[in-house]
Amino acid sequence: MKDITIIEQDRPGLLASIASAFGREAINIKRFSAHGVGGKAVLTLGVTDVDKALRVLRDNQINAVVDEILIVKLEDKPGALADITLKLKDAGCNLKTAYIVGRNGPNVFVALSVDEPHRAQLVLGDLLLNE
Encode pLDDT of 80-114 as tens digits: 999 999 999 999 999 998 999 899 999 999 999 99
Long-range Cβ contacts of 48-56 (<8 Å, 24+ apart): 50/2, 50/4, 52/25, 52/27, 53/4, 53/22, 53/25, 53/27, 54/4, 56/21, 56/22, 56/25, 56/27
Give all domains of the chain, ordered by start, each with its CATH number: 2-67 (3.30.2130.10), 69-129 (3.30.70.260)
pTM: 0.82
User: What is the pLDDT, as a whole number, of residue 131?
Assistant: 55
User: What is the pLDDT, as a whole number, of residue 130?
Assistant: 74
The mean predicted confidence, pLDDT, of the chain is 95
| Percentage, residues of the chain above pLDDT 70 | 99
The answer on pLDDT for 63 being more than 70 is: yes
